[in-house]
Amino acid sequence: MTEQVPLLVARGTQETGLQLQEFSIPYVEGMSVLDALMWIRAHVDPTLAIRYSCINANACKECSLMVDGSVTYACTARLTPKGAKIEPLEDKDVIRDLVTDIAPSKEHLSAILK
């Protein structure tokens, strides 16, 4: 039998507030947090909102999020047998679930374009 690990995933929007939802997923040694989130979308809840692009070791930075309180990339962070708590980036506006507004601020863009 495959070992199951708990994954606490933040769900909600800026308006509704975030709640942690627990999922039990099959653990495979070496799986990334992104693998685990994709498994949840494929097998449990297709409405889970996540952002990713390349699935290529930190090349695009689309999958930035918090794992156990630390900023990381879902594609490179490895899941452990104890599971994980997964939340959106703290300093960004939440669009839904783990998706945040990652566009640079207008002030930052203005400084770059000068």
Is residue 104 packed enough to be buried (19+ CB in 10 Å), middle (13-18) or exposed (0-12)? exposed
Q: Which residues pair with 24 in a beta bridge?
A: 6
User: What is the rounded CA–CA span in Å between residue 56 and residue 76?
Assistant: 8
Mean pLDDT over each residue of the chain, to the nearest integer: 88
User: Structural domain boundaries of the chain?
Assistant: 4-113
Residue 69 has pLDDT above 70, yes or no: yes
**What integer pLDDT is reported at residue 5 of this predicted model?**
96
Who has greater pLDDT, 97 or 108?
A: 97
**What integer pLDDT is reported at residue 105 of this predicted model?**
63
Reported confidence tier of residue 2, pLDDT bands at 50, 70, 90: confident
Residue 55 has pLDDT above 60, yes or no: no
106 Cβ contact partners less than 8 Å away, ≥ 6 residues apart? none
Give pTM, 2 decimals: 0.85
**What integer pLDDT is reported at residue 59 of this predicted model?**
63
Pairing of strands 99-100, 94-96: antiparallel
Long-range contacts of 53-61 (CB under 8 A, 24+ apart): 61/102
41 Cβ contact partners less than 8 Å away, ≥ 6 residues apart? 48, 50
User: What is the torsion angle, in degrees rounded to the nearest 10, for the CA atoms of residue 68, residue 72, residue 77 and residue 83?
Assistant: 10
**Stretch 65-77: mean pLDDT:** 94
Topology given in CATH for the domain delimited by 4-113: Ubiquitin-like (UB roll) (3.10.20)
**What integer pLDDT is reported at residue 74 of this predicted model?**
92
Reported confidence tier of residue 61, pLDDT bands at 50, 70, 90: confident
Contact 68, 87 (CB under 8 A): no
